[in-house]
C-alpha cells in the first residue's frame, strides 16, 4: 500500500477507458502497470525483463505519478505498444495488475547510484538507504544495515550468515521500498563478486 498518497492532488484518476492524452513530452507512448504490493512489482519485473530479452521491449520500475491513488509505491513503466505482449507475459506468470494506464505526467526515478566500500576482507555495497556486506573469501553475507521499513530487520534475520547464492532474495521475501533497495544492492554486490 502507498504511504505517500497524501502528496497527491485529488484529481480524477485516469480510467482505462480514457483516451490517451498526447503531449509534447515523449511519454505518450508509455504506460504503467499498477500493483497492490511491492512484492508483485518485483515478481512482474523479473518476468517482464526475461521476456524483454526475447522481444526487445524496455521496462523500468519507477515511482507512481501523483494522480495514481491505488496500489503500492512502485509501478512498472512499459511501451504501450507492447501492452498485449506484456499482459500475456504477466497472465502466464499468474500476476494481475490492478490497472494499466498511460503515462500522463512525470514519474519518480528510483535511486540508481551505488556506493562500494572495500574493507580488505569485506566488501560493502549501498543502494539508497540499504547496505549489504559480504566476506570476500567465502561470499557469506555478514551484515545488512540501513533502512527504516519493518522488513529490514526481517531481511537481515533471513539473509545474514548465508552465501550470496544461497540466501533468500529480497525480491522474494521483502515487501517495501527498503526491501527493493536491498535487492538492488544485492544484485550489485553479486555482480561485483561473482562476475
**Chain contacts with other proteins (rule: CB under 8 A):** 1, 3-7, 63, 73, 108-113, 117, 119, 121-122, 124, 126, 128-129, 131, 133, 135, 142-157, 160, 173-181
How far apart are CB 69 and other proteins at their closest, in Å?
Answer: 13
Phi, psi of 116 (to 5 degrees): -115, 135
Q: Residue 64 or 89: which CB sits closer to other proteins?
A: 64
The least CB distance from residue 112 to other proteins, in Å, is 7
Residue among 104 and 133 whose Cβ is closer to other proteins: 133
Nearer to other proteins, 52 or 72 (CB): 72
Which residue lies nearer to other proteins by CB, 52 or 178? 178
CB 154 to other proteins: min, Å: 4
- Could you give the residue ranges of the DSSP H alpha helices within the chain? 38-55, 83-92, 151-159, 170-173, 177-194
Q: How far is CA 80 from CA 71, 85, 91, 102, in A?
A: 20, 10, 17, 7
Output the smallest distance, CB 134 to other proteins, in A: 9
Do the beta carbons of residue 41 and residue 61 sit within 8 Å? Answer: yes
Across-strand partners of 103?
Answer: none
Contact between residue 142 and residue 133 where contact means Cβ atoms under 8 Å apart: yes
Residue 154's nearest CA partner among 134, 191, 182 is 182
Quote the least distance from Cβ 47 to other proteins, whole Å. 21
Distances (CA, A) of 137 to 97, 134, 140, 151, 171: 42, 9, 8, 28, 25
> Quick one: 89 or 170, whose CB is closer to other proteins?
170
Amino acid at each position: 500500500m502507498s504511504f505517500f498518497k497524501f502528496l497527491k492532488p485529488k484529481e480524477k484518476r485516469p480510467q482505462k477507458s480514457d483516451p490517451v492524452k498526447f503531449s509534447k513530452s515523449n511519454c505518450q507512448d508509455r504506460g504503467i502497470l499498477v500493483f497492490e504490493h511491492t512484492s508483485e512489482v518485483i515478481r512482474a519485473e523479473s518476468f517482464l525483463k526475461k521476456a524483454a530479452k526475447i522481444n526487445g521491449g524496455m521496462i523500468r520500475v519507477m515511482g507512481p505519478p501523483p494522480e495514481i491513488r491505488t496500489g503500492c509505491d512502485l509501478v512498472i513503466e512499459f511501451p504501450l505498444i507492447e501492452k498485449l505482449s506484456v499482459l500475456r507475459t504477466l497472465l502466464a506468470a499468474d500476476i494481475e495488475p490492478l490497472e494499466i494506464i498511460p503515462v500522463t505526467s512525470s514519474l519518480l526515478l528510483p535511486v540508481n547510484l551505488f556506493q562500494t566500500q572495500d574493507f580488505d576482507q569485506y566488501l560493502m555495497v549501498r543502494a539508497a538507504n540499504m547496505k549489504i556486506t559480504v566476506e570476500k573469501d567465502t561470499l557469506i553475507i555478514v551484515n545488512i544495515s540501513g533502512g527504516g521499513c519493518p522488513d529490514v530487520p526481517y531481511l537481515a534475520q533471513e539473509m545474514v550468515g548465508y552465501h550470496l547464492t544461497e540466501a533468500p532474495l529480497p525480491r522474494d521475501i521483502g515487501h517495501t521500498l527498503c526491501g527493493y533497495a536491498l535487492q538492488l544492492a544485492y544484485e550489485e554486490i553479486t555482480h561485483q563478486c561473482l562476475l
